[in-house]
Amino acid sequence: MVAARRKEMRAKFVIVSGSASQKLAMATAQRLGAEIGQCSVTRFPDTEVNVQLNEPVRERRVFIVQSSCPPVDQHIMEVLAIADACRRAAASSITWIAPYFGYARSDKRRGGRTPIMGRLVADFAERAGIDHLIALDLHSQQVEGFFHIPVENLSAVPAIADALKSHLEPESVIVSPDTGRVKMASAYASRMGCPVAVLHKERLNGRKTAVSRIVGEVRARPCVIIDDMISTGGTINNAVEALIRVGAAGNFIVAASHGVFTPEARKNLNHPAIRKIIVTDSIPVSSDDWPQVKIVSLAPILAGAIRRSIGGESMTDP
């Protein structure tokens, strides 16, 4: 009876992915006892995207698992193409699961004659037929307001906190690299029973910032620096240097939901005081030649979100 109900549930939905998050989509489907949907994403010689659904989606709920990671525009266009194909093929609903949502940093105008790219992506997604967004640790919660469809902003903090516990030392302090991540730092701290320290920064020019003061006791204590994303690694490097200057113990752990890791990131993170870097697989990262990096899978979180969505359950209730 239970097996029959699970089979019936799987028949009502399908998980598909573009080229950005195929491994994560497959791991998520496996946790649900389902197979990944048959969807071909190819490129014409001039790089235009070509999408073909190779199985019916009529009256089925479609979950598109795709991060808008580099190359960001290419991967967003794949999501829009898949959504449009599903809409035209009479899918009953289309949910975009964005483990990493690009352009979330573009949540307001940076000056005159500039776009708000987060809003533009939201408009494109809705016009393509997406009627539900599930994201993880959006860089700016303001992005939720750009959508007229339901938005679920889930958190990878519980999964990363579990991974951190085995590396935690006595007297460790959770450090927020700026005031914008205090809420996230507090979430880590409450789960791990650690105090919180906050770095305050001042902008030196258009490209550089410096730590002006540190709130919290870090002297002679191991520090866990947390953030929602690591892009260039410059913020983390500056934080490590500032903490060392005030006497923090010289062995740091860095944890972030999204390892964007631009080309200069490895140089900035190759600091002798950083012994471990923990990120999720919201963006494909290879740790084969980077032993400091530990990758936490988001598949359990995404599978749980899909299961709750299908069952009409709340995403936030325990």
Residue entry with tokens 């994403």: 41
Alpha helices per DSSP H over 22-99: 22-31, 72-88
Q: Which of 23, 108, 201, 294 is catalytic?
A: 201
Q: Return the closest-CA partner of residue 98 out of 176, 163, 20.
A: 20
Contact status, residue 246 vs residue 214, Cβ threshold 8 Å: yes
Crossing angle for the helix pair 72-88 and 117-127, nearest 10 degrees?
Answer: 20
Fill in the amino acid letter for 312.
G
61-65 β-sheet, strand order: 13-16, 61-65, 93-98, 132-136, 151-154
7 is annotated as an active-site residue: no
Crossing angle of the two packed helices 299-311 and 22-31, in degrees rounded to 10 = 60
Which helix (H) or strand (E) covers residue 308, if one does? helix 299-311
Residues taking part in catalysis = 201
